[in-house]
């Protein structure tokens, strides 16, 4: 039996800024000169973290026998959203009426 369990998280950020300058002058009351300059800087980045683990287990079943493999599934709720987490905890029985403790 082979099970893969993992998690993933992505973070991203962005930044933008504008630098502007203005200058002006009046020459002898006759001529007026104005100048303006602006520059915008932008940057963005994204990063993903991923981790997973593979679990392998061998279950031996005698000829004519049965085996039941139980996996604990944790159920919860986050912000009214149901969440199911399949754990890496397994239990083997040969009787379907034997429930793991």
Give the model's pLDDT for residue 13: 93
Closest CA to 24 of 12, 15, 35: 35
The residue extents of the domains of the chain are 2-93
Q: What is residue 98's predicted lDDT score, i.e. its pLDDT?
A: 79
Residues of the chain with pLDDT under 50: none
- Which residues sit opposite 32 in a β-bridge? 26
CA distance 6 to 13: 24
pLDDT value of residue 78 = 84
Question: What predicted TM-score, i.e. pTM, was given to this entire model?
Answer: 0.34
pLDDT for 42 equals 93
Rounded CA gap, 29 and 90, in Å?
90
Q: What pLDDT score was predicted for residue 5?
A: 78
């Amino acid at each position: 039996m082979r099970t893969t369990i993992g998690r993933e998280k992505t973070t991203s950020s962005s930044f933008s800024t504008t630098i502007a300058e203005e200058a002006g002058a009046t020459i002898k009351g006759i001529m007026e000169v104005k100048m303006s300059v602006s520059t915008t800087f932008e940057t963005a980045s994204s990063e993903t973290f991923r981790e997973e683990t593979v679990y392998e287990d061998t279950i031996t079943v005698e000829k004519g026998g049965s085996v039941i493999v139980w996996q604990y599934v944790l159920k919860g709720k986050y912000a009214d959203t149901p969440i199911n987490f399949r754990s890496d905890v397994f239990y083997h029985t040969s009787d379907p009426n034997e429930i793991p403790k």
